[in-house]
């Protein structure tokens, strides 16, 4: 079996990708690789506290490999740090990296090129599946998740903290992808068929963040803060 790690955000797409890979039996997934912003000790983009990602890894039964990133990391620095971390994992026998991407062609090419330079291969178990179907498969399989981040220009702030269930797809605006593939929302998975037990957490406040950007990107996000139980 091919030895692999999975790029792990803690959200629904990476969880479902791991689920599919375990079902197929082609890859021996030996760990989760998570980008952590060291300034805040949170997962990049999703904003989930690192201790909750560690709790996920424990509940899944796989080690967590952190890719530690400074708070204001340049693209060049990100690429260098990523290559160094992946090279370390390759030295321990890793040959493949699994991603939960669905249809972002530019991102796939970027990942494949990055891994090619190191001598690794990328795997995309969800690639080109209709995102409505992906979300329905996720909920039907018994996964449970909460929305932890919404793009304020795409969804109301009140969506942060909602359960990600089968009713969500019926309420999403037509301009929003069912899986949030364009960054409309992010999630935290706390239970499902890949977990030995649910991950306990409690909800905190909503937190608004704005990011400066010279590009034409959306930069205003609402986060649902999550805490480990007291």
187 shares a domain with 117: no
Say which DSSP state 223 is in. Answer: E
Residue 210, in any domain of the structure: yes
Answer yes or no: do 110 and 149 share one domain: no
Same structural domain, 116 and 52: yes
Parent domain of 204: 145-227
Count the Cβ atoms, other than its own, within 10 Å of residue 127: 13
Q: ∠ CA(162), CA(163), CA(165), 5° rounding?
A: 130
Q: At 31, which CATH number?
A: 3.40.50.620
Residue 178 lies in a domain: yes
Do 9 and 95 have their domain in common? yes
CA distance 227 to 230: 8
Q: Are residues 96 and 29 in the same domain?
A: yes
Cα–Cα distance measured from residue 190 to residue 34, given in angstroms and rounded to the nearest whole number: 16
CB 7 within 8 A of CB 112: no
Report pLDDT digits (tens) over 101-152.
999 999 999 999 999 999 999 999 999 999 999 999 999 999 999 999 999 9
Q: Of the candidates 71, 92, 123, which is a domain's last residue?
A: 123
Condensed to tens digits (0 to 9), the pLDDT of residues 22-54 reads: 999 999 999 999 999 999 999 988 999 999 999
Examine the pLDDT at 211 and tell me if it is beyond 80.
no
Are 169 and 76 found together in one domain? no
On whether residue 139 sits in a domain, the answer given is no
pLDDT at 224: 97
Per-residue H/E/C for 123-157 = ECCCCCCCHHHHHHHHHHCCCEEEEEEEECCCCCH
Pick left, alpha or beta for residue 219 (phi over 0 → left; psi -120 to 50 → alpha; otherwise beta).
alpha
Residue 118 shares a structural domain with residue 162: no
| Residue 76 falls inside a structural domain | yes
Helices (H), the chain: 12-24, 50-60, 75-90, 105-118, 131-140, 168-171
- 105 and 171, same structural domain? no
Residue recorded with tokens 């949030």: 180
Residue 203 belongs to domain with CATH number: 3.90.1490
- The answer to the question of residue 30 being in a domain is yes
Q: Are residues 8 and 116 in the same domain?
A: yes
Domain annotation covers residue 128: no
Do 175 and 215 have their domain in common? yes
Instruction: Give domain status of residue 85, yes or no.
Output: yes
Q: Are residues 16 and 81 in the same domain?
A: yes
54 assigned to some structural domain: yes
- Residue-wise pLDDT tens digits, 160-202: 999 999 888 889 999 999 999 999 999 999 999 999 999 999 9
Collapsed DSSP state (helix, strand, coil) of residue 69: strand
Both 6 and 119 in a single domain?
yes
Number of domains in the chain: 2
Which of the four pLDDT bands, split at 50, 70 and 90, describes residue 216?
A: very low
């Amino acid at each position: 079996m091919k030895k692999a790690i999975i790029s792990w955000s803690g959200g629904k797409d990476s969880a479902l990708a791991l689920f599919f890979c375990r079902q197929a039996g082609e890859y021996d997934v030996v760990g989760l690789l998570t980008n952590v912003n060291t300034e805040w000790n949170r997962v990049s983009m999703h904003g989930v506290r690192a201790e909750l990602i560690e709790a996920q890894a424990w509940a899944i039964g796989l080690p967590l490999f952190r890719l530690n990133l400074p708070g204001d990391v340049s693209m060049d620095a990100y690429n260098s740090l990523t290559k160094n971390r992946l090279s370390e994992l390759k030295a321990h026998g890793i040959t493949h990296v699994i991603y939960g991407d669905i249809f972002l062609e530019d991102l796939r090419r970027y990942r494949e090129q990055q891994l090619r330079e190191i001598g690794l291969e990328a795997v995309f178990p969800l690639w080109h599946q209709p995102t409505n179907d992906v979300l329905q498969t996720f909920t039907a399989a018994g996964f449970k998740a909460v929305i932890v981040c919404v793009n304020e220009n795409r969804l109301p702030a009140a969506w942060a903290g909602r359960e990600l269930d089968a009713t969500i797809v019926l309420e999403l605006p037509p301009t929003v992808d069912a899986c949030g593939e364009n960054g409309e929302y992010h999630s935290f998975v706390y239970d499902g068929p890949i977990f030995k037990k649910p991950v306990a957490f409690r909800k905190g406040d909503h937190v608004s963040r704005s990011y400066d950007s010279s590009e034409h990107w959306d930069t205003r996000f609402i986060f649902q803060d999550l805490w480990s139980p007291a």
